[in-house]
Amino acid sequence: MQSYTLTEVRNQHGKIFDRAKLEPVLITKQKRPSHVILSAEAYQKLIDHLHALTGKDHPPEQVLDEE
């Protein structure tokens, strides 16, 4: 997974969003992981997989809050 600082995202957002179409991109803030950018397709696959594992069809925030 490619990693970029928040400053790099501000300055190179087009390049970084293009990269996120290929693989998830880690965004760091003050040298710590902050966010992950991924394509809508990758996100949907992740949610579908999560639903298959849990057997539940909740919105993502409800599934994640159950932990």
Q: What is the pLDDT of residues 1-43, one digit of tens each?
A: 999 999 999 999 999 999 999 999 999 999 999 999 999 999 9
* Cβ-proximal residues to 22 (8 Å cutoff; 6+ apart), any chain: none
Pair type for strands 25-29 and 32-37: antiparallel
- CA atoms of 37 and 22, how far apart (whole Å): 11
Categorize the per-residue pLDDT at 45 as very low, low, confident or very high, splitting at 50, 70 and 90.
very high
* Cβ-proximal residues to 29 (8 Å cutoff; 6+ apart), any chain: 5, 6
What is the pLDDT, as a whole number, of residue 47? Answer: 86
Model pTM score: 0.72
- CA atoms of 38 and 15, how far apart (whole Å): 13
* Domain 2-65 CATH assignment equals 3.30.530.20: no
